[in-house]
Amino acid sequence: MDDFEAITRLQRGDTAGLTFLVQRYQARAVQTAYLITQDRTTAEDVVQGTFVQIYHSIQHIDPRRPFPPYLFKSVMNAAVRAARRDQRDFSLDADNGVESFAERLPDSAPGLDDEAEHAELREQVRGALAQLSPEQRAAVVLRYFLDFSEAEMAHALDAPAGTIKWRLHTARKRLRSLLGEG
């Protein structure tokens, strides 16, 4: 089964289509929501709510269009709303089962001598990301975790391209400042 068939089946009332979409995208969707909300339970709630919303609005989804942008746009918007609402401290620790953003950073020198340095860098990145707004974190996640283009980001976040560029610019500038690189 592929996304087209899953959506088509779901539109006909066959919930096997939803099961397929959940199994295929749930883990990445939860990771995405977690990077914004910084709370596993909230991230899971965001993703569950997003799939429920998709189930209820499935008749309005065109199965010929790519599904991931629609899904991740919904997840990102719900996660930003949840993060704004909760205003939780931002922590990218992976101790609750979700791989952290910092752990996804490439390890250019995996030698044992560099472990302490890399651990310190991960902590610095975590701390710096914690100081960004939910909107800036969403922009960073879309660009560097989900590898969206600026046009895709603008569509996903329902914001003008100029706003997206500004959020990325200010997020990168703030991260450089916080990480002592600028």
Stretch among 5-14, 22-31, 63-72, 121-130 having the lowest mean pLDDT: 121-130
Alpha-carbon gap, residue 84 to 101, rounded angstroms = 20
**Residue ranges covered by each domain of the chain:** 1-89
The per-residue pLDDT for range 10-51, each reduced to its tens digit, is 999 999 999 999 999 999 999 999 888 888 999 999 999 999
Alpha-carbon gap, residue 48 to 57, rounded angstroms = 14
Q: State percent of the chain over pLDDT 90.
A: 44
Secondary structure letter of residue 22 according to DSSP: H
Closest CA to 50 of 94, 102, 36: 36
Contact predicate 182/176, CB 8 Å: yes
Contacts of 140 (CB under 8 A, 6+ apart): 129, 132, 168, 171, 175
CB environment 129-141: b (16+ within 10 A), e (fewer): beebbbbbbbbbb
Alpha-carbon gap, residue 142 to 152, rounded angstroms = 9
Q: Is the pLDDT of residue 108 over 50?
A: no
Looking at the whole model, is its pTM more than 0.75? no
CA quadruple 8, 13, 19, 20: dihedral, nearest 10? -20
pLDDT of residue 57: 93
The CATH number of the domain covering residues in 1-89:
1.10.1740.10
Q: Is the pLDDT of residue 113 over 60?
A: no
Vertex 151, ends 40 and 141: CA angle to 5°?
20
